[in-house]
Amino acid sequence: MAKNLLLSQQWYDLLGHLIDHKGDEQFHPLLISVLKKITPFEHTAIIAYPDETRPIHLYNDLPGEQVKLSLDTYFAGAYLLDPLYNACQTHLEEGYYRLRQLAPDEFYQTEYYRTYYQGTRLKEEVGLLVEVSASMRVVVSMGIRDPAKSLSNADLAMLDMIWPLLVVICRQHWQRLDLTTSTEYREEHNEHRLGQPLDLAFQNFGRNHLSERECEIVHMVLKGHSSNSIAKLLSISSDTVKAHRKHVHSKLQISSQAELFSLFLDAISLVPIGSVEDPLNFYYAGRSE
């Protein structure tokens, strides 16, 4: 059915309508309409990822109850652990990616996944990654929640067919906009720290309380790497990684990954704008008052 659509006048009318609205406020909902015509995706969020600053919300068609659950948690700092965010930060080649292609080996067992993804009830996510400039990428994140729906090989083949055209249209649209001035999410959700960079806070997390190696391992654990994966990436033994993780738990007085994740979110939420200190300094200072 979707393949037949590509050969129809309706398809060319849709694309023509989308092209006509490059640079204006109708573009995003029209883009989503085009994608939904040929794929089983139900809900979508469009997010810009500038280098060295927080992601910027551009558009979403999430159900009302999912906006607060998904976007508030995400922009509060959970995005730092998102495989799509990390793909943008490492300048992964533009294209479309299933979450499972980008996620570390234990991502689906992380507290981030349990807290954020399971709450959204997503069973499948695909991100269309577009390079707008050398320092800006935009991701169209498309999700499936309905247990009766799935992403088939035919759907992926459809994305293969339309991707070359869509990426050009999307890039031209976003290049016309000053994405850094987007205020939609900030105004609607009182997100006064939207533009504050938190990746520095993430890199500084634990540095005054843990060794350099322990900090490396904590960051990788939070992102969803297993001890075996960390060992391979750092060229050390898995037993050494496990020993470091045990020391981290002792030093931070925690006993599980869930407590580490909670500590991470609590600590980075306290970091003042422009601070280069370890977020844990603010966390422990607040507890002692």
pLDDT for residue 109: 87
b/e code 10-40 from CB counts within 10 Å (16+ = b): ebeebbeebeebbeeeebbebbbebbeebbb
CA atoms within a 13 Å half-sphere pointing along the CA-CB vector of 157: 6
**Residue that wins the pLDDT comparison between 227 and 114:** 227
Q: Which residue has the higher pLDDT, 208 or 180?
A: 208
CA distances for 59 relative to 1, 20, 43, angstroms: 28, 19, 11
Domains 22-189 and 199-288 agree in fold: no
- Rounded to whole angstroms, the Cα distance separating 8 from 11 reads 5
Please provide the distance, in angstroms rounded to a whole number, between the alpha carbons at the two ends of the chain: 64
The answer to whether the beta carbons of residues 106 and 227 sit under 8 Å apart is no
Instruction: For the domain covering 199-288, report its CATH number.
Output: 3.40.50.2300
CB 262 within 8 A of CB 272: no
Tokens 């306290």 identify what position?
Answer: 270
Percent of the chain with pLDDT over 90: 51
What is the CATH superfamily name and number for domain 22-189?
Transcription factor LuxR-like, autoinducer-binding domain (3.30.450.80)
Side chain identity, residue 57: H
Across 134-161, average pLDDT: 90
Closest CA to 116 of 61, 59, 76: 76
Q: Where are the domains of the chain?
A: 22-189, 199-288
What is the spatial distance between Cα 119 and Cα 123, in angstroms, rounded to a whole number?
11
Check residue 113 and give its pLDDT.
84
Q: Which helix (H) or strand (E) holds 17?
A: helix 9-20
Average pLDDT of the chain is 86
The larger pLDDT score, comparing residue 241 to residue 176, is at: 241
Over range 179-199, report the average pLDDT: 50
The pLDDT of residue 121 is: 72
* Average pLDDT score over residue span 202-210: 94
Query: According to the model, what pLDDT value does residue 105 have?
Result: 93
